[in-house]
Amino acid sequence: MNKVTLAQGGGGQAMQKLIAALFMTAFDNPLLATQEDQARIPLRWLNDAGDRLAFSTDSYVIDPLVFPGGDIGKLAVCGTANDIAVGGATPRWLSCGFILEEGLEIATLQAVVRSMADTAREAGIAIVTGDTKVVPRGAADKLFINTAGIGVIPAGLEWGAAQLQPGDRLLVTGTLGDHGATILNLRERLGLEGELASDCALLSPLIAAVRDLTGIRAMRDATRGGVNAVVHEFAAASGYGIVLNEQALPLKPAVRGVCELLGLDALNFANEGKLVIGVAPQQAQALLGRLQAHPLGRDAAIIGEVVPQRGVRMTGLYGICRTIDLPHTEPLPRIC
């Protein structure tokens, strides 16, 4: 049996066998092993880490399943863990729901599960509860994953877009749009293989390296919608405006190439391993130094500033400042 069958989502023996042979083995941990309908996590473990639970979810529908720099499994762990980490929490426990298309190669599923398990294990994250559905051929495209995750925010940490003040600096932790450009290149057959790789990464080690710095106001990972979506969210939630410096935006040459080829802006491209951070001006250099000292933040840069006047603007090469709108959509569907 080398393909997923409807019976493997049917609640009978076939499903039990798939769960035991694949998921229980790969994700093995004491909370999962109880096989109750719910994972049971002692609250004292949470209380030891802080005073607020951080809870987030994402579904992953990326096409193709495997890409330079990652695959849907790595993405499903990192993406949700990052959404928890940007609140200041350490991501600890994930749930995982698979929707499988009948006929999916078992080898493909095994590779994805192995990737999830490896990514989670390296990060100290346990996949503690899950669900598997199989839909008939044609009712889904190969494989979708949902993860929801839990972490705890340390007492006193109050990062949030509403904390931003005029004068605060905005930093990005590395080059823009690597993930989006990589997927665009694959799907549109632009022929830039070898030069492009997704930045898909778990960001909690980088965040842990700066978490004790005072002056951090807000942090988001720039995924769908790119850095542009985050700065628009920051502007809207704070009630102030943001001015970006075009020359300061870090870009890989290959990503710049994709943008020029297609007339697109990397500011709107998806990232899967980049933070946008708002910080008090007097702490901006200290934060930049800490970020650049970490492997995940080598290309960090100060890219803009919070200003009193609402809206998002960008100062270009010749000092001219133009309004930046949030585009109607991403250039690509199924980017994550």
Nearest distance from C-beta of residue 332 to its own copies, angstroms = 8
**Residue 106 to residue 142: CA distance in whole angstroms:** 11
Residue 160 or 215 with smaller CB distance to its own copies: 160
Burial of 35 (0-12, 13-18, 19+ CB in 10 A): exposed
Beta pairing, strands 169-172 & 216-221: unpaired
Residue 96 or 249 with smaller CB distance to its own copies: 96
End-to-end Cα, the chain, rounded Å: 30
Residue 44 or 189 with smaller CB distance to its own copies: 44
Nearest distance from C-beta of residue 58 to its own copies, angstroms = 5
Question: Kind and range of the H or E element at 228?
Answer: helix 226-238
Nearest distance from C-beta of residue 66 to its own copies, angstroms = 17
Residue 150 or 306 with smaller CB distance to its own copies: 150
DSSP label at residue 5: -
> Around Cβ 32, how many Cβ atoms within 10 Å?
19
**Residue 71 to residue 298: CA distance in whole angstroms:** 23
Nearest distance from C-beta of residue 289 to its own copies, angstroms = 25
Residue 70 or 225 with smaller CB distance to its own copies: 225
Q: Which token pair is 263?
A: 């007339």
Nearest distance from C-beta of residue 27 to its own copies, angstroms = 13
